[in-house]
Amino acid sequence: MKTYYLNINHFIQVCIFIHTCFCFSQKINLKHVYSALEERRADEAILILSKIDTLKTTTYDKALIKYYLGEANLIVDNHGLAYKYMSASKLLFKQVDSVKDVADCNIALLRILSHQNNVNIETKSIIGELKNYALENNDYKSLRSIYHKIASNYLDENKGLLANNYFNKYIELSKQNNDTLYVAYGLMNKGTVFNDYIKNSDSAIFYFKKSLPTFFKYKDIETIAYNYNNQGKAYYNLNDCKKALIYYLKADSTPIKNNIAKSKAVFYKNISNAYSKCNDYENAYIYSNKLNSLKDSINDTQQNIEISKIKEQYDNEKLRANNLEIEGKRKQNFNLLIGALAFIFFGGITTFLIHKSTKRKQKLAEQEKDLETQKLATVLKEQELLSIDAMIEGQEKERQRIANDLHDDLGGLMATVKLHFNALKDKHTPELFDKTTDLLDETYQKIRSIAHAKNSGVIAKQGLLKAIQNMADKVSSSNKINIEVIDHGLEDRLENSLELTIFRMVQELVTNIIKHAEATEAIIHLTNHDESLNIMVEDNGKGFNQSQITTKNKGMGIHSIDKRIEHLNGTMTIESEIDNGTTIIIDIPI
């Protein structure tokens, strides 16, 4: 849809004690509405649109306003109102013969209907209308939406193979237009078909994993969460409840922003079922309670009824289109009556507004007091964090100083001693000098090793990602364990003290793997979600009994990591089972 500007003139005549009158005009810019919707600020968009007097706008502008109202209500999961406004927008665009905008409305209607379960509404007419437009105008976007909707309809009819054929068309069309993101969407849909309808979970996992890197590339956080959830479901179907739990928890920890209530309900239900399947009934009960707390805010059945009613109203609206102008004049007369009543009761309204203003000032004063209290708490917390940063920085400087002293002073001295002994070699017993020289060489090498070891923790110059990769390469060179580092979104550097803290935590986790896990492979995932950093360390080692890890008997390594995470306001999740490896997930706010 395009962005337009509307000039709205509101003339309000109010007389004060029968002598004073004034009027004012307001200009509303629909570009602000478009920006609010782009940033998912639906409530702000609805508030701006609700203030527009549509009696003084053109038919096209009315259609545009209703279109944006439909998009805004879709963002907040109010599908009944979204369908109502989008249907009205389509009718008005038809009146002004704007076929491109009618096609956009049809695409939006298909998106709205795709969020409902068991919707008793015929969508063939919408698909047929959209398909004719797409073929006549060579509109790739509309044709892609048609293929997706046809495939979805086949899934509703439990015809998985036919649905898969149309998802293949969807993918091929996206490839022809070099649209890699929508190719990934198509692959993910194919995974759903194989998992839920063709009952081939191994193939489903293949398509889910193949599409995931593209979603990371485009930072499509919502789809990343759904992909993790789908992988969990596939492993659940394969009776691998442990892997299912890992991916369900990944989905739940991903910070989604849209359709939060419905998505969380799905995640909680799946996590509860997986815990139950793993005989962990305590956690199953916890997530079951979380699910129940969301159910009151989700009511698909009621929304389906609303959409059905609105569909009937939309059909009737076509018959009442010619009466809109008469209805508008009637409302205008009604507004004049309201204005007259406002004139009579102006004195009472003024008193009410003054009282309301006084209460508002009192409330603002209380809020300012609360803000001051919060600021004080924030300052104390920042001072604590600064102390930790200073401690870490001091430790790094001390390591650097020791390394320089060992290398420059003692190392140089020992090299000089070796030269003196070589000069005396021909004058005394060769065997004694050979042995002494060997000992000096060994001492010198040890000093160099200590210097390099002490200096390895300094990452200020090379950065977090490079330091972790170097550490992984050095450990892997021993041929006893292979460590792979996978990163997403770490092109930019983080704050230096934060990088040092994260490096120490990862270093400690790798040390624990080498000492205790008896693993042959390990993977370090580092994912930057803009507002948080996700760290996941996996190994294929012997694992351990999680019940032995408590707040009182944590090992020194785990305790140290836990304290660092606590100071960073982060969280840590440990998943391990004997003979099935260990996964540790850390989320740190940036």
Q: Do domains 180-294 and 462-589 have the same CATH topology?
A: no
Confidence band (pLDDT; 50, 70, 90) for 431? Answer: low
Residue 383's pLDDT is 65
Helix-helix angle 140-156:99-114, to 10 degrees: 30
Size (the chain), residues: 590
Averaged pLDDT, 9-19: 31
Of 256-270, 339-353, 423-437, which range is least confident? Answer: 423-437
Q: What is the mean pLDDT of the chain?
A: 78
Higher-scoring residue by pLDDT: 553, 106: 106
In this model, does residue 495 exceed pLDDT 80? yes
Residue 313's pLDDT is 57
In this model, does residue 515 exceed pLDDT 70? yes
Three-state SS annotation for 191-252: HHHHHHCCCCHHHHHHHHHHHHHHHHHCCCHHHHHHHHHHHHHHHHHCCCHHHHHHHHHHHH
- Nearest of 577, 534, 491 to residue 245 by alpha carbon: 577
In this model, does residue 321 exceed pLDDT 60? no
- Report d(CA 80, CA 128) in Å as an integer: 23
pLDDT in tens, 336-380: 788 778 778 777 788 788 888 888 888 888 888 888 877 876 666
Name the burial class of residue 464, with classes exposed (0-12), middle (13-18) and buried (19+) by CB atoms within 10 angstroms of its CB: buried
DSSP symbol at 546: G
pLDDT in tens, 181-201: 999 999 999 999 999 898 899
CA separation, residue 446 to residues 409, 418, 439, 454 (Å): 14, 15, 11, 12
Confidence band (pLDDT; 50, 70, 90) for 209? Answer: very high
Residue 483's pLDDT is 94
In degrees and rounded to multiples of 5, residue 397 shows phi and psi of -65, -40
pLDDT in tens, 371-391: 887 787 666 656 655 655 566
CATH code reported for the domain at 180-294: 1.25.40.10
Higher-scoring residue by pLDDT: 59, 386: 59
- Nearest of 306, 307, 316 to residue 123 by alpha carbon: 307
Domain parsing of the chain, residue ranges? 180-294, 373-458, 462-589
Higher-scoring residue by pLDDT: 332, 388: 332
Residue 346's pLDDT is 78
Distance of CA 416 to the CA centre of its chain: 60
Averaged pLDDT, 246-271: 87
Confidence band (pLDDT; 50, 70, 90) for 415? Answer: low
Report, at the CATH architecture level, how domain 462-589 is classified: 2-Layer Sandwich (3.30)
Residue 322's pLDDT is 52
In this model, does residue 230 exceed pLDDT 90? yes
DSSP 14-29: --BTTTB-----EEEE
Three-state SS annotation for 487-516: EECCCCCCCHHHHHHHHHHHHHHHHHHHHH
Confidence band (pLDDT; 50, 70, 90) for 13? Answer: very low
Residue 498, number of CB atoms within 10 A of its CB: 18
Of 42-46, 424-428, 566-570, which range is least confident? Answer: 424-428
- Report d(CA 109, CA 376) in Å as an integer: 50
Higher-scoring residue by pLDDT: 381, 172: 172
